[in-house]
């Protein structure tokens, strides 16, 4: 029995080795990506023609908009996913239902994290390796690193305002609660790179909902609302200022900026562009004080 078990393990090892070798020689041609960040990475690596399906929130670059949608992280459409016959599925975090369904069909699923800036650079190299484009992945990651270091260098030594990042809030009307970013997030890191201090850098969770009373007590010097694709930033900003004035009291609210660029909340190849925009906004705020 021991010999049989040994032979079984040896046979399995041979099969696995053969599978890895075959994968290296024949990279995947039909790719499904559930995360906008990974979708953008695939395209930037020159492999956009291999995408056969994307998650519901993929909007960039424009050519991915026409691709079949396979749902989101919490509501994947397994029937549609399997009908696309992918040979690689990219997910940013564990997706038990997707992974189980793909395992039954012999479809490879790869988890590729993009929670921090370091994750994003590693993701570029990892996805590139999976697609047989390792050299391109190295160049893409190095280019992003160079952009971010440029921002870091330009903001070194500047005064750093306390900034409340707002990621989600009621669309209009009286403010009741907001969602913000805490530590160990790419947004927290970008804000620091760009010359700011995250009001909730010491939060116990990566993303959470502070009370508005706590926000007031911490006395932010600038409120940045990230509202990708929400419409006209100037009109949204005017409305937001009035709503925050009710929270802080007349004449006591800090300046408010509303940014509608979608790349600000997508931890992918446009992360350097996001850092540069935040740098510009924070520099303008400092000059105005």
Cα 49 from chain centroid (whole Å): 22
> Does some domain include residue 9?
no
- Model confidence band, residue 229 (pLDDT cutoffs 50, 70, 90): confident
Q: For the residues of 65-114, what is the DSSP string, one character each?
A: GGSPB---SSS--HHHHHHT--SEEEESS--HHHHHHHHHTT-EEEE---
Do the domain assignments include residue 2? Answer: no
Residues 36 and 129 in one domain: yes
Total number of domains constituting the chain: 2
Range of the domain at 67: 27-147
**Which of 113, 147, 181 lies at the terminal end of a domain, its last residue?**
147
Please determine, for residue 9, whether its predicted confidence score (pLDDT) is greater than 90.
no
Regarding whether 137 and 99 lie in a shared domain, the answer is yes
pTM of the model: 0.87
Q: What is the mean pLDDT of the chain?
A: 90
User: Are both 280 and 165 inside the same structural domain?
Assistant: yes
Give the burial class of 175: count Cβ atoms within 10 A of its Cβ; 0-12 exposed, 13-18 middle, 19 or more buried: middle
Say which residues have a Cβ less than 8 Å from residue 256's Cβ, sequence separation at least 6.
Answer: 222, 223, 225, 237, 240, 241, 244
In tens, the pLDDT along 51-88 reads: 999 999 999 999 999 999 999 999 999 999 999 999 99
- What SS3 state is found at 52? strand
Residue 237 has pLDDT above 60, yes or no: yes
Report if residue 187 sits inside a domain: yes
Mean pLDDT (whole number) for 200-225: 95
**Domain co-membership, 120 together with 67:** yes
Residue 266: other Cβ atoms inside 10 A: 25
CA distance 284 to 289: 9
Residue 53, helix vs strand vs coil:
strand
Residue 18 maps to a domain? no
Task: Tell me if residue 279 falls in helix, strand or coil.
Answer: helix
Q: Does the structure show a pLDDT above 50 at 6?
A: no
Residues 76 and 126 in one domain: yes
Distance of CA 185 to the CA centre of its chain: 9
Q: Residue 86: inside a domain, yes or no?
A: yes
In a domain, 153, yes or no: no
- Are residues 118 and 232 located together in one domain of the fold? no
Residue 114 in domain: yes
Q: What is the pLDDT of residues 15-55, one digit of tens each?
A: 434 444 444 568 999 999 999 999 999 999 999 999 999 99
Same structural domain, 225 and 270:
yes
Domain boundary among 97, 122, 147: 147
pLDDT attached to residue 25: 62
pLDDT at 3: 42
pLDDT of residue 30: 97
Look at residue 19 and tell me if it is in a domain: no
Q: What is the pLDDT of residue 169?
A: 84
**Which CATH number characterizes residue 50's domain?**
3.40.50.1980
> 173 pLDDT band (50/70/90 cuts)?
low
Domain final residue pick, 96, 117, 147: 147
Q: How confident is the model at residue 158 (pLDDT cuts 50, 70, 90)?
A: confident
**Region 278-283 average pLDDT:** 95
> Tell me, what's the pLDDT at 81?
97
């Amino acid at each position: 029995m021991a010999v049989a078990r040994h032979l079984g393990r040896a046979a399995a090892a041979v099969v696995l080795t053969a599978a890895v070798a075959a994968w290296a020689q024949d990279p995947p041609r039909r790719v499904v990506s559930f995360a906008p960040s990974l979708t953008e990475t695939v395209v930037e690596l020159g492999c956009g023609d291999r995408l056969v399906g994307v998650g519901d929130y993929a909007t960039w670059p424009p050519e991915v908009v026409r691709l079949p949608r396979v749902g989101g992280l919490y509501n994947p459409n397994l029937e549609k996913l399997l009908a696309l016959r992918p040979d690689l599925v990219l997910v940013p975090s564990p997706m038990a239902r997707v992974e189980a369904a793909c395992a039954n069909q012999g479809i490879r699923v790869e988890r590729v994290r993009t929670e921090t800036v370091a994750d994003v650079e590693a993701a570029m190299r990892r996805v590139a390796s999976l697609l047989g484009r390792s050299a391109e992945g190295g160049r893409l990651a190095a280019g992003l690193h160079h952009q971010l270091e440029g921002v870091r260098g330009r903001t070194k030594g500047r005064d750093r305002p306390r900034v409340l990042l707002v990621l989600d809030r009621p669309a209009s009307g009286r403010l009741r609660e907001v969602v913000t970013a805490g530590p160990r997030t790419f947004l927290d890191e970008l804000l620091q790179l760009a010359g700011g201090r995250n009001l909730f850098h010491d939060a116990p969770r990566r993303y959470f909902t502070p009370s508005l009373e706590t926000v007031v007590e911490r006395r932010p010097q600038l409120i940045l609302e990230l509202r990708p694709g929400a419409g006209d930033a100037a009109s949204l900003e005017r409305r937001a200022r009035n709503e925050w004035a009710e929270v802080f009291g007349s004449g006591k609210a800090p300046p408010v900026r509303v940014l509608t660029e979608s790349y600000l909340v997508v931890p992918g190849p446009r992360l350097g562009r996001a850092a540069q925009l935040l740098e510009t906004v924070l520099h303008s705020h400092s000059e105005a004080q």
